[in-house]
Chains A and B, each alone.
Chain A
Amino acid sequence: MNVLVKTKMLKRRLSKLCVAVELSVCIGFMVGCAKETKNADVTPISLLIASSMTDVFRALEVGFLAQEPNHKLRLSFGGSQALRTQIEHGAQADIFVSANTEHMDALEAQKRLKTVTQFAKNQVVLVTHAKHKNTMKSHQDLLKIERLILGAKDVPIGAYARVIFDQLERIYGDGFISALRSRIVSHEHNVRVVRTKIEMDEADAGFVYRTDAMNRPKLNVFALPPGSQISTPCLIGLLNRGHSINESAQRFYNYVLSESGQAILKAHHFLPAGDP
């Protein structure tokens, strides 16, 4: 066999090999995406976190890694209901942080949770754009606003807003509340979008968590009457992930409940879980 023929054959084989390698890389990549690679050394802890707790969990991540540098965290944020749907559809996660009990209970009923604890509390507040600061005194002033935005009814902040509406109705009567309802222009999919749209002055007012309204110069917190204030639980759940229990996830879970974790939460204006 002469050299030319050999090289030709070699080339052909090589090109086949290349295709095979490419294909297997592609498939490997897809499999890798779908299923976490089990690397014993640095298994990242995967956390799904309600968007209202974005900032505080970024701080908690930093604090945790300062104590335990050998770990890796992967944070993903969204509305609690969207995260729950992701878990129900098989998203591989170790920890779920929710802004209300409904979604956590649902996962518990499906036996997807190992343990769950309330680690802090938050409050729901009504915020307006800062330009309304001097004109918003009484509840009647609320009717001056043109655009009120709520969370969608399946988003915790949306569900809480509806509870507050019911309580306001009890206090001020249904005439007031239906007038207020007529100002609703949108049901947003998470609390941070509500805040952004108010800060952009596209909307006048909306319900957010107290912690979301802190240190935001463009926002003004409107004082709701005493009977309509609600505090909300912040829940952390350890998820069952196959048979093995992720040791690192347990450590992070403990850290959130530890003194240093609680200090960070307090610095971000969350209330301790034990408060009435």
Chain B
Amino acid sequence: MKSSHWRFSTQLSQGDYRLSVTMEGRHRVTALIGPNGSGKTTILRAMAGMTKNGCIEFELQGGTIESTATKTTTPIHERRIGYMPQGYGLFPSMTARQNVAFGLDARYPKLPRAQRTDRVTELLRAVDCEQQAARAVQRLSGGEKQRVALARALAIEPQLLLLDEPMAAMDVASRTSIRLVLKQMIDTANCPTLLVSHDLRDVAALADYVYVLENGAITQAGRLDELARQPCSAFIAEFCQSPVL
């Protein structure tokens, strides 16, 4: 068995809300699925560093990022985690190029100007947005926004990429082609990825391993075909009942 890229567990309770989860990233792309309100986004935010009160143990590429037990925590801006939220969270006052450069400026303030420019151009080329570099992000199409956000997250050479519903903002007609492009880019980036999605086609196309989160707990984990063969809950059965498989 391969050693894992990351290992994350959390226990938190707030009023009626309880979350108790342990996940491991042994494959390149892991997917986290679950009904609305099951806590998927909360988990991604916790990994990025937005912690609520609760216990967290988080290891990444052999290092401890956060541990409630030993009371260690790495500040958000010192973690190497690329976070792409739902809606992408592009900085509206900046151009595409400035968005991509943001992480470089923050992480490597001493990077020479020319080198910085080259790196940004390279990143934009990798996501096929070189033409749009000088454009204000509001003027980008949905697919372009997604790619620029991905380039921005990859600029800091993350050890883990967190993608929250990357296809949610796309119109149905263009999803298939955009999904293919996204798959290519994730393959090229060669970075461990945790993908949150409610769409079977995303999971089928992108993920190697799937965790199912229901009511604050992992109900099943495995490859998608394993889940489809032996679903342990109504939600999973329904999720896997799709003509795509």
A–B contact, 8 Å CB criterion (strictly below): no
- Listed in ascending order, the chain B residues whose CB lies under 8 Å from chain A are none
Chain A interface residues (CB < 8 Å from chain B):
none
